[in-house]
Amino acid sequence: MVEKADQVFVLLQHWLISFLPVLLQPAAAVLLGVIAIVCVFPGLFALTTIFERKGLGRIQNRIGPNRVGPLGLFQPVADGIKSLTKEDIIPLSADGVLHFLAPVILVVAVFMGFAVLPMGRNMVLVDMDAGLIFFFAMSASTELSVFMAGWSSRNKYSLLGAMRAIAQMISYEIILLLSSVAVVMTAGSLSLVKIVDAQNHSTGVLPNWYIFTPWGLAAFVMYAIAATAETNRSPFDLPEGESELVAGYHTEYSGFKFALFFLGEYLAMFSISGLGTTLFLGGWSAPFSFLTWIPSWIWFFGKVMISIFVFIWMRGTLPRLRQDQLMNFAWKFALPFTLLDLLVTALWRFMGEGWLRWVVSTVILAGAYVLMGRVGMYRGHFAPRKYRYAE
Amino acid sequence: MLGEGILKGMAETAKNFAGSFVSAERLTTVQYPEQRIPTMENARVFPFLVYDGPDWQAGLRCVACQICEKECPPKCIYIEKSTGKKPDYVGKQQFYPAKFDIDIAVCMSCQICVEVCPFEAIKMDTQFELATDDRFGGLLLDREQLAKSNEYYHSIHPNEATEVDGRLAEEKAKVEAKAKAAAEAAAAKAAAVAAPAAKPERGQA
Amino acid sequence: MGIMFYLIAVITLAGALAAMTLKHLVHAALAVTVAFGGLALFFLNLDAQFAGFAQILVYIGAVAILVVFAILLTRGSELPKDGVFSRTWFVGLPIAAGIFAVLGWALIASSKALPSEMATPAVTVHDIGVALVGRYVLPLEIVALLLTAATIGAVIVALHEKARAR
């Protein structure tokens, strides 16, 4: 019974394709998986918009939208209807083809990233040997669409927003990749299914998730910061800060194309959270062995939704970082720390089991963090700003 | 330590989030228009004319002295004096306004008309849901729309209204006392006129 | 070979031709990105997953962005007045023909050396990794040195400008 609940979608897929001739069955299986992804994740997107608005409202001492439907739960429907029926304005001097293609390429590239995430036991669309690189390749393609959007609008503010967004994305992509490399080093494979399998068993009380190791925690924190920056999410949302550049690179978009950008951003948030849970939080595995009766896909989506709540929480808490503060942070703090973390992962791997490797790793990482923090504060990088004349 | 501020901030917002479900201090939203914030004593929006008693035309305190019309900065008051007079709250015959229009699209709620009125006739109302779709006369209030009873004035500004009533009662009492004194003096004078009227008769003869 | 090869070849060649003939520089850069994507599809068609995805990640995700930034930071918005072909284009023809001949000869000679119907070896990422740090460690280290030199050079160039601006 537990087994059936866990594999319910796989069994459903097998039953549906059994109606087709054998020749068409592999294609139909993949097609069913694609349809499932295309239906589930935009549905989650609609739910997330309402959670975000209400959650941010509660954090800011107010109620979110509560007029459309009970507790405002049909607000995404109203938003969808609004964005579909708005007039699609294209500036006269805009580059028509690029202007049209930019949101399309963004959404396509982001959807492709979902193909390698294992969403449950046996529930991955394509089990690729180099799955992690595929994921990062797709997220690198989104940068190109950001540039196309900014350039084709023929608006210098859009272009400025696009350049800032791309600079931010390529800086933090390095940190994203390096923190994932730590996990790859330990799991020994680039395939996401194998990475989840390596974390699936639990020894002792804590499960074998990589976040419960010193290097894993450090890598997870760096991954989380880089993920927030990659998806242009607060506090790194200077490219789309409403008070800075109107809407940055998607200023000149209205109606459905803007909704596509919005969809693309939230889907990127989902897929990066999905990758984060796969790499560090054990994917679809349950934390304690007595909880394995809960189906694996519930664990995966639960962990992804918790990551989304943390994203919303950070958005409600932190002010926006300025572009140079953002870049300083990436190149002067996050990158050295991530490289050190790679070193510590290697140490961990080759030191053998026991308490010694825990102590050494923790001491090196904590010491480096405190040292870099103090040096940064002493030099004035991270401290509250001192004003020479206004004291 | 680096990152401490962020964690403290996140704890504060978590408190906000959790507290907004349980305490009113953390959720200060008033869901207008189903709920309304109770207006303060000193709230003011647009002026209205006060009348005493049941009949608004007879009890209207305004005597069309036109001071408020002259003092109004954006000149939103338009008054036309009447031809005849009617008695006011002390019984004295006064003019009254035949037309009294305030254009509330122009009025800037400065309360100068209230401050300069010597007769406590014009006071500030607190109603603000006055939106209308009539472009040409909807925001031009005439005498009948502006006249509201003293009981209404008590309900929106209780302390002020009791104070005003006290002042007016004082004035009335003073006037009545004066009238009584004048009546007594007149009676005494009438008696004194009657008595010396008899004396010159004897002197002359 | 099959139909996939010809389809991908059409995409790649169309991208490359568009990159050569388009007047607008940003359009040409995006067309060359399409050509990069076509190359990645070739790698994937041959089941070389690592090479294909690394091609997308590096070429489309970094090199194309670099080209585009270079266009943006210089004056890339003007259209060339005299068209995209130089007046002495016929000089390029024999050079291109010569390179094509050399490359074609090298390919045919190497394909004669290998038996043609051999099953393609399943090269996993693990094998690539082992080869990189085993047999090809010297090229790896030289490439790392090159990249470090490039990074230091970039930092020095940027630093120099800041010093001059002061």
Here the ipTM equals 0.83
CB contact under 8 A, A59 and B17: yes
In chain B, whose CA is at the least distance from the CA of A368? B2
- Any CB–CB contact under 8 A between C148 and chain A? no
Residues of chain C with pLDDT under 50: none
For residue B91, is it within any domain? yes
Q: What is the pLDDT of residues A69-87, one digit of tens each?
A: 888 889 999 998 998 898 8
- Any CB–CB contact under 8 A between A309 and chain C? no
For residue B137, is it within any domain? yes
Residue B196 to residue B202: CA distance in whole angstroms: 10
Residue that wins the pLDDT comparison between A269 and A157:
A269
Contacting residues of A for B17, CB less than 8 Å apart: 55, 58-59, 313, 316
Q: What is the pLDDT of residues A11-64, one digit of tens each?
A: 888 888 888 888 888 888 899 999 999 999 999 999 999 999 999 998 988 888
Number of Cβ pairs closer than 8 Å across A and C? Answer: 65
Pick the CATH number of C1-80 from 3.40.140.10, 1.20.120.1200, 3.20.190.10, 3.40.980.10: 1.20.120.1200
Residue that wins the pLDDT comparison between A143 and B89:
A143
For residue B10, is it within any domain? no
Residue A33 to residue A18: CA distance in whole angstroms: 15
The residue extents of the domains of chain A are 2-318
Q: Do chains B and A touch (3 or more CB pairs under 8 A)?
A: yes
Q: What is the pLDDT of residues A199-258, one digit of tens each?
A: 887 777 778 888 888 999 999 999 999 999 988 887 887 666 655 556 677 777 888 888
- Any CB–CB contact under 8 A between A129 and chain C? yes
**pLDDT at residue B205 tops 50:** no
Q: What is the pLDDT of residues B96-109, one digit of tens each?
A: 899 999 999 999 99
Residue A186 to residue A349: CA distance in whole angstroms: 7
Q: Going by DSSP bridges, is the β-strand pair B147-149/B47-51 parallel, antiparallel, or unpaired?
A: parallel
Q: What is the pLDDT of residues B72-87, one digit of tens each?
A: 999 999 999 988 888 8
Number of domains in chain B: 1
- Any CB–CB contact under 8 A between C158 and chain A? no
Full residue range of the structural domain in which residue B66 is found: 47-167
CB contact under 8 A, A134 and C53: yes
In chain A, whose CA is at the least distance from the CA of C55? A137
For residue B39, is it within any domain? no
Residue A168 to residue A326: CA distance in whole angstroms: 8
The pLDDT mean for chain B works out to: 86
Residue to substitute from A53, A221, A317, A374, interface B, most B β-carbons within 10 A:
A317
Contacting residues of B for A313, CB less than 8 Å apart: 10, 13-14, 17
From A204's Cα to the closest Cα of chain C, the distance in A is: 31
- Which residue is it, tokens 């009545």? B176
For residue B151, is it within any domain? yes
Q: What is the pLDDT of residues A353-363, one digit of tens each?
A: 888 888 999 99
CB contact under 8 A, B1 and A373: yes
CATH code for the domain of B97: 3.30.70.3270
Contacting residues of A for C50, CB less than 8 Å apart: 129-130, 133, 190
Q: What is the DSSP string of C14-46?
A: HHHHHHHH-SSHHHHHHHHHHHHHHHHHHHHHT
**pLDDT at residue A383 tops 70:** no
From B33's Cα to the closest Cα of chain A, the distance in A is: 12
Give the global pTM. 0.84
Phi, psi at B85, each rounded to 5°: -120, 160
Residue A74 to residue B93: CA distance in whole angstroms: 66
Q: Check residue B202 and give its pLDDT.
A: 54
Q: Do chains B and C touch (3 or more CB pairs under 8 A)?
A: no
For residue B20, is it within any domain? no
CB contact under 8 A, B3 and A316: no
Confidence of residue A117 (pLDDT cuts 50, 70, 90): very high
